[in-house]
Amino acid sequence: MKSFDGKVAVVTGGAGGIGRAMGEAFGRAGMKVVLADIQPEPLEKTVADLQGEGLDLIGVPTDVTRWDSVAALRDATLSAYGAVHVVCNNAGIGAGAEGPMWEHDLRDWEWAIAVNVWGVIHGINAFVPVMLEQDDEGHVVNTSSGNGGIAPLPSTPQYSATKAAVVTMTECLYGQLDGTKVSASVLFPGPHMLRTGLFESWRSRPDRYAKTRPRKTPYTTVEALEEQMKAAGVQIAYTEPAEVAAAVLEGVRADQFWIHPDNPRSDEMLRLRSASMLDRSNPDYLRAVPG
């Protein structure tokens, strides 16, 4: 997209973290913004904060696992602003499973797939037809992760598998949009650790995806992960959500499919994985990955 001024952006998972940062970046670039999130109170506060800074945006409480909710988000966007030009399918959760995957509660799989995969599908199906009908420049950004999108962490099979699916869906979308004015990108946030609400996803877990048995250990927190990394002698570095949002803005402007910051570690994992596939060799690189 060559111009953002006056255009309309929709961002799911928009109450905090990367979603909020993207909404703010689009707003400061002159766009009208619709933030969507399953948590109404944090969404309301974020919208009030950003409106107080002079940005033109609204919030729409949305459950991306439900088609009718995402369709309502589309309708609210069109009612408020009359068009949509950028859609960021950003909502995502960590399922919080523990132990080996063959012991995981099936509800963990159901919830992860519902948010991380069906959420993207619903976003595509709700908004892309409108964007094509407008016959104007448009862009879809789907948030993946190096964990799964590049190579998996064995300890997080639900998250890894669903984020790998996001990459493949976005590749297919990009190919099918060829010859139109709409394009697509896949986002790998980073290059370092982000302090977002991903580790607290369990707080907004719907009852229909509730675990069928209690956890044996407390949920992992970002603070606990930091302590583990420090104990292992790993130096912790952080990426601010605003840095990710800036990369998204430039990626959309440049029609860049892979929005993927320079990261030596993920680049090495990508090379090792590709080499394993090309050589038809076992994925021994996973033995060095935690979990």
| Number of domains comprising the chain | 1
Task: Indicate whether 92 belongs to any domain.
Answer: yes
Confidence band (pLDDT; 50, 70, 90) for 290? low
Structure-model confidence comparison of residues 152 and 288, the more confident one: 152
Helix (H) or strand (E) holding 243: helix 241-253
Helix or strand or coil: residue 61?
strand
Residue 117 domain-assigned (yes or no): yes
Question: 88: which strand partners?
Answer: 11, 141
Enclosing H/E stretch for 64: none
Q: Is the separation of the CB atoms in 219 and 202 below 8 Å? A: yes
pLDDT greater than 60 at residue 291: no
Q: Is the pLDDT of residue 91 over 80?
A: yes
* Residue 10 CB neighbour total at 10 angstroms: 31
Whose CA is closest to 127, among 168, 85, 92, 79? 85
What's residue 229's pLDDT? 60
* Nearest residue to 65 via CA among 26, 22, 123: 123
DSSP secondary structure letter of residue 13: S
Q: Tell me the chain's radius of gyration from C-alpha atoms.
A: 19
Whether the predicted pLDDT of 43 surpasses 90: yes
Provide the pLDDT for residue 233.
Answer: 62
Which active-site residues does the annotation give?
159
- Structural domain of 168: 8-263
Render 244-284 in DSSP notation, one character per residue: HHHHHHHHHHTT-SEE----HHHHHHHHHHHHHHHHT---G
Predicted confidence (pLDDT) per residue in 106-117, tens digit: 999 999 999 999
The CATH number of the domain where 228 resides is what?
3.40.50.720
Q: What is the pLDDT of residue 151?
A: 92
Residue 280 belongs to some domain of the structure:
no
DSSP structure class, residue 6: T
Q: Per the domain annotation, does 283 fall within a domain?
A: no
- Examine the pLDDT at 199 and tell me if it is beyond 80: no
Pairwise CA distance, residues 160 & 234, whole Å:
22
**Residue 275 belongs to some domain of the structure:** no
Asked whether the beta carbons of 184 and 140 are under 8 A apart, the reply is yes
In a domain, 258, yes or no: yes
Question: Residue 161: is it exposed, middle or buried by C-beta count within 10 angstroms (0-12/13-18/19+)?
Answer: middle
Domain membership of residue 288 (yes or no) is no
Q: Does residue 3 form part of some domain? A: no
Tell me what pLDDT residue 155 has: 86
Give the per-residue pLDDT at 2: 87
| pLDDT interval class at 288 (50, 70, 90) | low
Tell me, what amino acid is at 104? H
